[in-house]
Structure 1
Amino acid sequence: MGVATLLGLPLYPVECLVQCALYLAGGRTPARALRYSPVLFHDLSYLPLPFLARHIVGAADADTDLVSRVLEACAIAPGQRKVGGTALAELQAREIGKLIETFNFTAALSLKGRWLPGRDTDSNLLRALAEAARFLAAADSTYLPHLAQQHLNEAEQQLAATDIQRLQSREPLARFVPDTLATYRRALALLRERTAQAAAETLPNPFVTTNPISGSMHWGRQIFRGREAVVRQIEGLLGHQQNSTSLALIGPRRCGKSSLLNMFRLMLPDTQIVLFDLQDNPATTPLAFYRALAEQARVQADQDRRLQLPAFPEGPPIEALRVWLDALENFTAVPRVLICIDEFERLASLFPGQGQDLLQFMGLLRATIQHRRRVRLLVAGAAPFDELDALWNDHFINLREIRIGHLDRPTAVGLLTRPIDEFPPETIPLVVAEAAVDRTGGQPYLTQLYGSLLVDRLNDDKRRSATQADLAAVEDDVLDQAGYYFRNVWGDLGTTAQAVVLDAAQGQALPPAGVSLPALRRRQITGDNGELLVPVFGRWLRERQIDA
């Protein structure tokens, strides 16, 4: 009897009758009756009260403060915790649905509301709904209808994934998610209808002029052109397990090295790619570099394959790196791991005044190149090893060097005339595309930049086809937007090479006697006779550099 009394059983029938009566009596004013709910007066209730969750939800719009107090009381009373959790989940589902219905995507993304908990929530379903709101917000805010359509496609994929997730979830929210998803899909349909007309009147602009191309981009695989032979060569070199070949990818700036490395994640399915760009991952000490490399490997393996790579161990930096590489060599969940270090010329800056540390690191890389089978190395940069000091040439002597440069003329012209299947014919006519490639020499970044600026100009003017006059007009913008690239190319040249390039820019094709051109040819700055391969670079030199 003592236990029954403790559980509140003698009072429970009375509380049930009271709660039922209050719910029924509430009618159109449920908040007025909810203030007398037994949960507010008895915090040792061990059995759930009927209709309490429905009563809470019904009163929420009229008196949020009262409902908050009832939910707090439910959290205290053991028997009402599940009831309160169910009511709160329904309120959250309804609130995020209303935010979506009113196109308040920013608040939905932040999970910001009276009942919503904010972005720090433990609810996987709420985080999934917030992620879907992110894509809707992006689609609603962009001025580019084709980009909006891409965001809407991503939102639709996220909603489908959320629908699957709620079937597997044990959260109280799961039972209310279907109605919320229906609201999302209605908003999605309205946004599609809104952007369809604008998209029909606007040319798509798939050209990439900022970040490197990647397979995750909407049109990434279509605009990645002209590297089939390089990919086949790399596939062949990596394909034999008994072959320990490691690679050096050498090419001028902005010629597509980083894009090629990104695409490896799609094109080399039997290899775990680890991409580490020394420019995007600044480190000031060897240990910071080693740890960052291991962390990048861990994150990318988890993203790509849900693999858990070995952690970076404790200990002296170079010994810890050796142990980690040995652990990768013995990691059998994937046939091989290809560690790609981009901008490798920056490595020396991590070891200022520590010659011994740099020698130890280079020695470890050399051992990896020569002796490890599963772990392969790829370094990418602009400078061939024979232009660097002996340290690089000695330690990287066994790397297989692969060169990457400008696009060949047919590929560059095809990229401009038909970058993607949806690109309307004659948007950039053949004669305009050929003239643009005459100016870029097939340099990938500049070719994409001309294409992007031409499409922007057509959309601004609400026209459908470019002319030679458009090409001349956008070249001024090319000089401005490519200025940083041109300055880097210029800055990489020595004084003698700069003099040769300036002469070439002013029409003097052949260099002075005794001046060697191999380094300029390898960087695809000049041709066999000393002529500039990228004429628009010559114009930049004449108008922006010589005058400076």
Structure 2
Amino acid sequence: MRFHSAFWDEWQRLYLPSLDKHLLFVIENNPVEGKAALEYLSTSPQRWAAQAVQIELDARSLQRCADVEAIREAHRSLVIGELENEVSPLLRIFSRISEDVDAALNQASAYNQRLPLRDVADKLNLHLQNFARSSDKYTVRFYPIIKSWREIVTNYIKELAKITELRQEIDSPYIIGVPLTLEQEIFTGRNDIGLRMIEQLLLDYRRPPLLLYGQRRMGKTSLLNNIGKLLPNSIIPMFIDLQGAPSSASDHAGFVYNLAREMEKSAKKQGVTLPSLAREVLKSDPFTYFYEWLDKVEQALEENTVLLALDEFEVLDNAIAKGRFDEQDVLGMLRHLIQHRPRFKILLAGSHTIEEYQRWASYLINVQVVHISYLKEAEARQLIERPVKDFTLRYEPNAVERVLQLTRCHPFLVQLLCAEIIVLKNEQDPSIRRLATLADVEAAIPEALQSGGFFFADIQNNQVNATGQAILRFIAAQGEGAIVSRQRLLQEFADADITFSLLLQRELIEEVADGYGFQVELIRRWFV
């Protein structure tokens, strides 16, 4: 290869026919020398050959994917962006499909694998149709690959269904520990909260910011992910997870850039394309350029309104407290949106009230709190008995009642306990597998407490102080349904009025007559 004129004549600018084919031949027979030549040519006047070879290498790599395991790994080896060219959009399609397959296969149950894989298959079908309409040489080259991937994914979905039916297993539709997305059918209820939010968004001329307030694992993020189902088409929800890129930025430029990127990505899921915001322009005056970008966004919205949903607002407050962001600049920006941009509605979500964060209260005037708590009983029953279409597990009536008693319709705990019931049933003889009894519910409790340990430990370690823990253990020791009188508790825990107020606010205990008891039996079991 070194004797080729492309290497010994560095000023060789003439087009050298078949250099790409020769380079491919060398890579196939001498990979080390071939890849070194590819790297050299990528910055030479013959870079066209390097680009053509890299495209063909990527195509061959994708074509070698013979099963879903190979497809899930494909995105890790694709070269995109280093040699930006006309095939980059095609490679990004394959990269995203690979990432989606990887995420799907990370799901624990066959059911939860099939659900996102069906979405992947739909995307592959759409891409296949678009590829078929194109005569572009690169699209033609990649057409058989996208067709092969579709067949592999479709066949794997069928195989999962056959295995499940052959084993008479019960598919678990329950999602534990991560928020529910739009694609997941199991999202249940919350229509009353959606109606309350619509009333505030559309009918209140003052445009007050909303605070979606509720304890951890009550389904706040799941609701935000699915809120588009509850809102009219004229309101475009843009979901921003403040635990992610925006709050982790090192300066204001990074903050507003990441915020704009998340808004763009969220809008795209709703079928709305927003103008892009270049990071470079933000360095000198980030907020001014961000406001100018918002002007362009409003033009792109036409007659629509944005619901800017900022989840986990406490994380942003923590960044401000550490001095990474300036309070006046960041919270002043939110106040500007509320007061001067009627096309933007602000929704904060968190497990604390604004009163607990005084700096926010002075910027966000007239915040309207929308409380998210336990599911309604009918919603919880649906989550237990009919979480998805064609659910194969049936419950005896007293088994359903026991699940309701143990969880108090807490959305996370219903899913946690029901998921463990399914694990238990799948270990039983097929003749009794598809009917859950009261005994099954009781047998699943210890496993639920163990697998949901992260939820209970968060309550114990992060939501209450040492006195609160002692109070909860004391009440828990009295037994299921026990109510401990206020007088007795004050004898045991003098000067604990503030702690009792905190436990009530955290919805861990409730006041009954002149005493206190646990709100949720499963949480009591953890503290025994």
TM superposition score normalised by structure 1: 0.72
Alignment of 1:412-423 (within 5 A): 412-423=380-391
| 3-state DSSP of counterpart to 2:248 | coil
Q: After TM superposition, give the deviation of residue 423 of structure 1 in Å.
A: 0.8
1:405 corresponds to 2:368: no
Give yes or no for the alignment of 1:308 onto 2:275.
yes
Following superposition of structure 1 onto structure 2, how do residues 117-266 of structure 1 map, counting pairs within 5 Å?
A: 123-124=87-88, 125-129=90-94, 131-132=96-97, 144-167=109-132, 169=134, 171-188=136-153, 190-200=155-165, 201=167, 202-215=169-182, 218-219=183-184, 222-239=185-202, 242-266=205-229
RMSD: 4.7
Query: In structure 1, how many angstroms separate the alpha carbons of the residues matched to 2:384 and 2:193?
Result: 21
Q: CA deviation at 1:46?
A: 8.8
CA distance in 1, matches of 2:157, 2:55: 29
Q: 1:477 to 1:332 in 2, by over 3 A?
A: same
Secondary structure of 2:518's aligned partner: coil
Contact 1:285 1:350 in 2 (8 A): no
Q: Taking structure 1 as reference, are residues 402 and 418 closer, same or farther at Cα in structure 2, changes over 3 Å only?
A: same
CA contact (8 A) 1:86 1:173 kept: no
Partner amino acid, structure 2, of 1:492: Q
- Per the alignment, residue 493 of structure 1 pairs with 464
Q: Which moved more, 1:532-541 or 1:511-520?
A: 511-520
Instruction: Say if 1:284 and 1:350, in contact at 8 Å, map to a contact too.
Output: no
Residue among 383, 406, 430 paired with 2:352: 383
- Structure-2 change in CA distance of 1:391 and 1:418 (3 Å): same
* Partner-residue secondary structure (3-state), 1:423: coil
Change (3 A) 1:438 1:166: same
Q: CA separation in 1, counterparts of 2:275 and 2:334?
A: 23
**In the alignment, which residue of structure 2 is the partner of 1:34?**
none
- Contact 2:104/2:117, CA 8 A, preserved across alignment: yes
Gaps of 5+ in 2: 1-11, 491-496
1:481 aligned to 451, 468, 474, which one?
A: 451
Look up the SS of the partner of 1:405 in the other structure: coil
* Paired letter, 2:385: T
Change (3 A) 1:242 1:169: farther
The answer as to 2:71 corresponding to 1:100 is no
Shift of 1:321: 3.0
Distance verdict in 2 for CA 1:266–1:332, change over 3 Å: farther
What is the match of residue 526 of structure 1?
A: 509
Length, aligned pairs only: 485
| 1:162 aligned partner, one-letter code | H
Structure 2 counterpart of 1:417, which letter? Answer: E
Partner of 2:9: none
- Whether 1:275 and 2:243 are equivalent positions in the alignment is no
Q: Does structure 2 conserve the Cα–Cα contact (< 8 Å) formed by 1:436 and 1:471?
A: yes
SS at match of 1:376: strand
1:126: Cα distance to partner? 4.4
1:343 maps to 312
Q: Report the alpha carbon displacement of residue 158 of structure 1 after superposing the two structures with TM.
A: 3.2
The counterpart of 2:475, out of the listed 490, 500, 504, is 504
Question: Contact 2:267 / 2:274 at 8 angstroms: preserved in 1?
Answer: yes
Counterpart-to-counterpart distance in 2, 1:283 and 1:53:
44
CA contact (8 A) 1:253 1:382 kept: yes
Moved more, 533-542 or 272-281: 272-281
TM-score scaled by length of structure 2: 0.74
Q: Which moved more, 1:136-145 or 1:163-172?
A: 136-145
Alpha-carbon contact 1:103-1:187 (below 8 Å) kept: no
Is the CA contact (8 Å cut-off) linking 1:338 and 1:378 kept in structure 2? yes
Amino acid at match of 2:506: R
Asked if the contact 2:251–2:324 (Cα under 8 Å) also holds between the matched residues in 1, the reply is: no
TM-superposed CA distance for 1:168, in Å, is 5.4
